A and B are shown apart, each in its own frame.
Chain A
């Protein structure tokens, strides 16, 4: 059996709205296993719970129920964090630093030695095509440049597993192609990749397996090669739309059913009172 790198068991998160103290469930019972060397793509509409899932796996948020394990260690464990790379959604870094200084800073947080840090920063800046802007302050970077620098910082420690939240966001077609190439290289090296994206063609091209999330739940997960091979779905987009609309319809139907049960109960109790 392949090594399990990411495992979540009934992972759930509730937030309490500050004004009315009302609890809102933003993630419900996520059960997921990603094995070593696998590229897993999490797709879903806005607000489906993709970013929350990643934050729970990394220990940025604490689960209300269930748990997440990375490399056999609990979410947020420092030993696991030392072996992973993370790219946040719409990254914003320290605008007063230059790209090179920022990579050096991140390398230092990992405890990488000075010479190695410098060499690694140079390599990665070249990989993400930022060599010319390396000594420019980040306040002058475009969104795409920040995204590319974000990708570079997530690889500074030569991670075993990477979590990328919307890695293609803000990138032009050349940037997207570069990211796909980086992903391919990481796959060749056996890195486990977990990423969220809205860009289904990219997901289709690089992922081994995809999971579809909707309204805080994982609706389905499937090997990418099986999606169009079965003949039921034209492509990943067709698969995604089918499952999301089915799930929405199910939720609507069960909500209607519960409303009608409630109204029936109200009618019965009124009849009983009269």
Chain B
């Protein structure tokens, strides 16, 4: 029997190592959690659409297939982010696996960051796989839209996918944040509500302009600035769709905005986790 006890304690813990361990574990858990079925479902839908549209449309079949395909990737990626994200912390609490984590030299921020990175990796793999499948169908069906070459088509799909992924990073952070203090059902509702409100944010400003009451206009303005600006991301995707790529400044602003917002949500989630008691 080999049981070594005292005398050879572990070296001081590297702060990144637990984050990596938790991220890999979360990735494995999500991927092994039959979420790949979502991908298979998506693949089936797009294949059917590709065949049907190929036979019905004249000239615009690839454009329609691409639009539908990208919308489906955004939707399925969002479903994965929302449902897996809202269960992230809750599942650990419910199954009491959290006892294993927090009786090791692991801080709340390391736990949250590891969980978030793990889920984002999983979403990235799903989005890339679905995107690759879509690109394959586009190639198989000819891939020429309005004179755009095959390479341009692939480039356009990649740009669109990057923006979709940026939005999903946002949604995953929201879901992770809510999962630290509420049940999965409520977390799903909160995340979906903010996701939707984030897309409709500019309507709040319009509503503020229409109202005669300055106080209400001010409140609506504050809500607009607090809500994540998903509409901004959608606007840029629209530009891409019509071949007018946004400038580097706009993209830099957008990426900085998303990462700043994600960071704020993760810091809040870490604070909530750090203050939690595990009874």
Contacts and interface: CB of A to CB of B under 8 A. Distances in A.
Interface of A: 15, 52, 55, 58-62, 78-79, 81-84, 86, 88, 91-94, 96-97, 101, 105-106, 108-113, 123-124, 126-127, 153, 155, 157-160, 162-163, 181-182, 185-186, 189-192
B277 A62 contact: yes
B25 A82 contact: no
Given A86-B99, A91-B96, 11 more contacts: A55-B278, A78-B13, A78-B106, A82-B105, A86-B100, A93-B100, A97-B25, A111-B17, A127-B2, A158-B6, A191-B6
A157 B3 CA distance: 11
A182 B5 CA distance: 10
B12 to A, nearest CB: 7
Contacts of B277: 60-62
13 contacts: A55-B278, A78-B107, A79-B105, A82-B12, A88-B103, A92-B97, A110-B105, A112-B10, A113-B11, A158-B8, A185-B3, A189-B5, A189-B7
B100 to A, nearest CB: 7
A111 B14 contact: yes
SS class, residues of chain B in contact with chain A: loop
Q: Of B14, B22, B32, B100, which is in contact with the most chain A CB atoms at under 10 Å from its CB?
A: B100
A160 B102 contact: no
Interface string B13-53: 11001101110110011001100000000000000000000
A160 B28 contact: no
Contacts of A93: 97, 100
Contacts, number: 139
Contacts of B1: 127, 181-182, 185
Is the interface on chain B under 10, 10 to 19, 20 to 34, or 35 or more residues? 35 or more
Contact of A111 (B8, B18, B101, B102): B18
Q: Of B5, B11, B96, which is in contact with the most chain A CB atoms at under 10 Å from its CB?
A: B5
Contacts of B25: 94, 97, 105
Contacts of B11: 111-113
Contacts of B107: 78
A178 B278 CA distance: 30
A96 B7 contact: no
Nearest to A162: B5
B4 interface: yes
A108 B21 CA distance: 6
Nearest to A110: B10
A202 to B, nearest CB: 17
Contacts of A86: 99-100, 103
A127 B4 CA distance: 11
B2 A158 contact: no
B13 A96 contact: no
Contacts of A79: 105
A96 B29 contact: yes
Contacts of A153: 100
